[in-house]
Amino acid sequence: MMISDIESDLKSKFPDSLLNVVSEDRRISLLVKKEELHQILSQLKDIGFNHFSDVTAVDYIADKEFELIYHLWSHREKIRAIVKVRIPREAPTVKSVFDLWTGAQIHEREDHELFGINFEGNPNLSPLFLEDWEEIPPFRKDFDTRKYVKEKYYSGEEGYPVAKG
């Protein structure tokens, strides 16, 4: 299967949901609508993208949106598919792809922890690294790392931190 076949296949099945498609040598990048995300990923799995590499997120705070980026790999065709989706920052909820690739579980759990994105259908979204975390998720742009660290770990004059204890 060629890149152009994948593109035409998706365009015929999801004419309304594909906002942008970029095809390169061995890589296809899609920007899709949130509503049919799960169906598109399911279709991609059916046409051979059997390896789930990663799902990561970008915080576009000015647009009030998160962008989720799914990386898929086809061992048979040796093609990478990148699926991007924008979700609202206020209610960041998408359907989990745990039912398609079980390996997605840990990636979604990490995104939930660091960005506060909710994956419906993921069996375990408990904290992975951050125990006893009470602030907003730390990878969000409105989390002020430097301020938090100064208050939490240092006391002293401005610009000259002294460790507590």
Partner 1 sequence: MKKLTPKVIKSKNEARAWSVWVINYFTACGFMELLPWVGSGYDMERFGILAVPTPRHADVFIIAGYVTRKAAKRIKMIYDQMASPKYVLALGSCPMTGGMYWDSYATIKRVDEIIPVDLWIEGCPPKPENIGHGIVMAANAIKGGLEGH
Per rule CB under 8 A, is residue 106 in the interface with partner 1? no
Looking at the Cβ atoms of 88 and 156, the one nearer to partner 1 is 156
Q: Which among 15-23, 77-85, 115-123, 129-137 is the span making contact with partner 1, rule CB under 8 A? A: 129-137
Q: Which among 30-38, 47-55, 82-90, 152-160 is the span making contact with partner 1, rule CB under 8 A? A: 152-160
Distance CA 58, CA 140 (A): 9
Using CA atoms, how far residue 84 sits from 1, 28, 52, 72, in Å, is: 22, 11, 14, 11
CB 117 within 8 A of CB 87: yes
Opening angle at CA 33, ends 28 and 39, nearest 5: 75
Residue 130 Cβ vs partner 1, minimum distance, rounded to whole Å:
7
Q: Which among 8-16, 49-57, 101-109, 157-165 is the span making contact with partner 1, rule CB under 8 A? A: 157-165
Q: How many residues bind partner 1 (CB under 8 A)?
A: 16
Per rule CB under 8 A, is residue 160 in the interface with partner 1? no
Looking at the Cβ atoms of 19 and 130, the one nearer to partner 1 is 130
Per rule CB under 8 A, is residue 154 in the interface with partner 1? yes
Per rule CB under 8 A, is residue 164 in the interface with partner 1? yes
Distance CA 12, CA 107 (A): 30
Contact positions vs partner 1 (CB under 8 A): 129-132, 138, 145-146, 148-149, 152-154, 161, 163-165
